[in-house]
A and B are shown apart, each in its own frame.
Chain A
Amino acid sequence: MSAIAGRWPSTELDPVQRMRVLVAAMPHAAFRERLLDAPFDDVWRVAADLEHGTARWEKNVAALSILRREADWLEVEIRSPFGFRLRANAILRPGWCVMQGRLFAVGMAATPEGDRTRFAHFEALSLPGSRVLAPLLRHRIHHEFEALELLARAASRP
């Protein structure tokens, strides 16, 4: 039996399924997912373009700079709309991005569903009162999805 152990079937979660799991450990995270009416490649081209795309749809980000990059690991600096500068470590892979700073964590995941894209996004704060803020953040994510969908559809036009 041991000789064939490596040939037993295995299974993998898609990025959105993985994000649901990750969020399960963050009870105060604001999390939403939605089926975007744009192909995966177009959605992810916008979403993964952290330096040029993120600030166009993510309302908590005024600008984002990549300071260091090693394979799928990044060190980024985020400038908030209020002028704060925050550093974060990020993992960026196809369909998956999670950024973890000292006071916050954000993540996005995407997986194709036919010609459309299931997109998931969470935002979590490590601050007093984050439980109260979560519904507000969730509401804002709803609008961020609309912005991202528009950008992805514009990107898909010839």
Chain B
Amino acid sequence: MSQLLDALASYVGRLCGAIALDAGPDAAQETLLNVFRQLRSLKDPNALYGWVRTIAIREAVRVARPLPESGSTSLEATPSAIGTADPELAGDVRRVLERLAPAQRAILVLRDLHGVDEAEAARILGIARGTVKSRLHRARAVFRREWTT
């Protein structure tokens, strides 16, 4: 059990850290508590990581602090609505991620870091496939813009 915790803590830490940022430790702890409480209900061991990923992503989005009102990148905003980029953002992934809403960070993590397809991303996040597509498009645009500034 201790070895399983070692393996899952690292995996969950990467998911929750990228999405929940400062609230990452809270999200990771809640995720792992849920996972270990329900571990006996998992029928197929091969489904472990997919199951853990779903719980982690949902928990990270739930506990992540929303963007502040000023200069925020709402899910409906266009990239041009982003405030002036700080020159220090270049080369700093975290600072770029802070410019995105938690749900946008979740889309990027699922699609671009974990290669999850649109249908699965929609299922995990509880949104329509079309919404996944449009949010991903905006998130990538913001990410590229802030990263290269």
Residues of A within 8 A of B (CB): 1-2, 4-5, 7-14, 17-18, 20-22, 24-26, 91, 98, 100
Residues of B within 8 A of A (CB): 1-2, 5, 9, 13-14, 16-18, 20-21, 24-25, 27-29, 32-33, 35-37, 39, 93-94, 97, 108-109, 112-113, 140, 143, 147
C-alpha gap A17/B9 in the complex (Å) = 11
Complex partner residue of A9 from B94, B112, B143, CB under 8 angstroms: B94
Which of A12, A20, A25 lies in contact with B1, CB distance below 8 A? Answer: A25
Give the interface SS of chain B, mostly helix, strand, loop or mixed. Answer: helix
18 A-B pairs within 8 Å (CB atoms) are namely: A1-B113, A1-B143, A2-B112, A7-B93, A8-B14, A8-B93, A10-B18, A11-B27, A11-B28, A12-B13, A12-B25, A13-B28, A17-B25, A22-B1, A22-B5, A24-B33, A25-B1, A25-B39
> What residues of B have a CB within 8 angstroms of the CB of A17 in the complex?
25, 28-29
Q: Write the chain B residue with the least CB distance to A14.
A: B25
Minimum CB–CB distance from B4 to chain A (whole Å) comes to 9
**Which residues on the B side are within 8 Å of A100 (C-beta)?**
2
8 nearest A-B residue pairs (beta carbon):
A11-B24, A11-B17, A25-B36, A10-B17, A24-B36, A21-B32, A1-B112, A8-B18
| In the complex, chain B residues whose CB is within 8 Å of the CB of A7 | 93
A87 to chain B, nearest CB (A): 17
